[in-house]
Amino acid sequence: MVGVSTNDLKSGMTLELDGVLYSVVEFQHVKPGKGHAFVRSTLRNVRTGAVTERTFRAGEKVRQAIVERREMQYLYAEPAGLVFMDGETYEQIVVPAEALGTTTNYLVEGESAVLRIYGAEVVGSEVPASVELLVTETEPGMKGDRVSGATKPATTQTGLVLSVPLFISPGERIKVDTRTGGYIARA
């Protein structure tokens, strides 16, 4: 653990407060006319995603958590979790699905993801801004049904259900935005 002053906070920095990991979303250094300066911050719990507001005295020391980011290849799922392999050491680790959150909807076997590791625990993951997924199930489009902007539900190979245009059929590959979970285009 590294001690860091609240005056040196940056967005994206990871802190350990009361045994809980938080990521700094935004912060503001405030110097009122009377009284002492303080730092108002918005923090996101790394494990649960809950957002909280916290105020620190200016210059107060907090513990910075060093979170390692390692690119790993997703191999397969098993009952205990998802199996990833480090491309350099070929070490395999099993990560519980809860630790990855919603990124499990975008993981395809053989693709890479960046795992955030704190100590020996995986506390999160990052996937590219968009991924290609195979549509496994959707209703067929009806001939003459050409309403502009109309959508229908579709299920992908990862189990993600999203709205797609009427012309998409099972077996097609689509591009999906991982930030919003929305359809972008045919792949």
**Domain map (residue ranges) of the chain:** 2-64, 68-126, 130-186
For residue 11, what pLDDT is reported?
87
* Cβ neighbourhood burial of 39 (10 Å; 0-12, 13-18, 19+): buried
Mean pLDDT for each 10-residue chunk of the chain (187 residues)?
82 88 90 89 86 91 90 92 92 89 88 88 87 90 66 91 89 92 89
Q: What's the pTM? A: 0.75
Q: Which two tokens stand for residue 20?
A: 């809980």
- Choosing among 3.40.50.1390, 2.30.30.30, 3.90.1150.10, 3.40.50.360, the CATH entry for 2-64 is 2.30.30.30
φ, ψ of residue 107 to 5 degrees: the values are: -90, 125
Architecture per CATH, 68-126: Beta Barrel (2.40)
The DSSP bridge pattern shows strands 14-17 and 61-64 to be antiparallel
Nearest by Cα to 64 from 15, 127, 113:
15
**Cα separation, 57 vs 112, whole angstroms:** 41
For residue 6, what pLDDT is reported?
86
